[in-house]
Amino acid sequence: MNSLISQIKKICLNLSRKYNELTIKKEDALVVNFLNKIDTKDNNLYIEIGSGLGRFVKIVKSLDKFNISCLEINSNLAEETTKLGYETMNVNLLNNIIPSNKFNIVHCSHVIEHIAYPQITQALDELIRITRKGGYIIIRSPLMSAEFFTCIDHIRPYPPKCIIDFYSNPQQQKTGDASIKIIKEKYRREALIIFPYSSNISALIVNLIMKILWICFRFPHSRPNGYTLILQKQ
């Protein structure tokens, strides 16, 4: 009996892994399609903020139109992208020495939710500072959901409105000075997870059923639990 339960759990976890790969690919596609449309004649410099193991920079590399750099705070991960052949800065975004107005594309995926206030305001200013005028800042981040705090170093979600308001609403402790234009604001919905914190067999099966329904019918789905925000520096 224990062997059967173990096999069922293994199947559920493998199928859930496939589901995660599918949702990531769907989110990536939005950014890849945007990057494909960009004219890089004047500036083809791209930087990946929080490059991790280089999963997304490999996709960008395949487009064969950008000169790619990476920034990664984790020294072990920075070493991995260096081995892959990407110029990698092993520094904190808040303490970098990147020249202003350098990059045409600044891509920051699943990083800002790890930063507290008021440091987040400095991080946003840095993303914009290193972007050339007319260049693009792409931010991907989760929103509050049942699974948000299953990542031990998630601090808080920053929805697009609070980022946009930082540069447009004067009634705050601090207001950003940059001028930005919203190019795209796209929210992510995924399968409705009934038991986000449980790993027992019945919970895994129920959650897997919900994921299969979402793959086949895109329903039932969760509330928005993440987003892609594309800004242009004015």
DSSP collapsed to 3 states, the chain: CHHHHHHHHHHHHHHHHHHHHHHHHHHHHHHHHHHHHCCCCCCCEEEEECCCCCHHHHHHHHHCCCEEEEECCCHHHHHHHHHCCCEEECCCHHHCCCCCCCEEEEEEECCHHHCCCCHHHHHHHHHHHCEEEEEEEEEEEECCCCCHHHCCCCCCCCCHHHHHHHCCCCCCCCCCCCCEEEEEEEEECCECCCCCCCCCHHHHHHHHHHHHHHHHHCCCECCCCEEEEEEEEC
Domains of the chain with CATH codes: 2-36+92-233 (3.40.50)
Out of 96-100, 121-125, 220-224, pick the least confident. Answer: 220-224
Predicted confidence band of residue 161 (pLDDT cuts 50, 70, 90):
very high
- The pLDDT of 126-130, averaged and rounded, is 98
Q: Residues 50-90: pLDDT tens digits?
A: 999 999 999 999 999 999 999 999 999 999 999 999 999 99
Predicted confidence band of residue 104 (pLDDT cuts 50, 70, 90):
very high
Q: What is the pLDDT of residue 38?
A: 95
Distance from C-alpha of 116 to C-alpha of 95, rounded to nearest angstrom: 15
What pTM was computed for the model?
Answer: 0.90
234: which strand partners? none
Average pLDDT, the chain: 92
Predicted confidence band of residue 1 (pLDDT cuts 50, 70, 90):
low
pLDDT of 142 above 70: yes
State percent of the chain over pLDDT 70.
98
A 10 A CB-CB count for 3 gives: 7
Out of 76-80, 115-119, 201-205, pick the least confident. Answer: 201-205
Q: What is the pLDDT of residue 124?
A: 98
Out of 1-5, 107-111, 186-190, 217-221, pick the least confident. Answer: 1-5
Distance from C-alpha of 169 to C-alpha of 171, rounded to nearest angstrom: 6
- The pLDDT of 205-223, averaged and rounded, is 88
Q: What is the pLDDT of residue 24?
A: 85
- The pLDDT of 176-202, averaged and rounded, is 90
State percent of the chain over pLDDT 90.
69
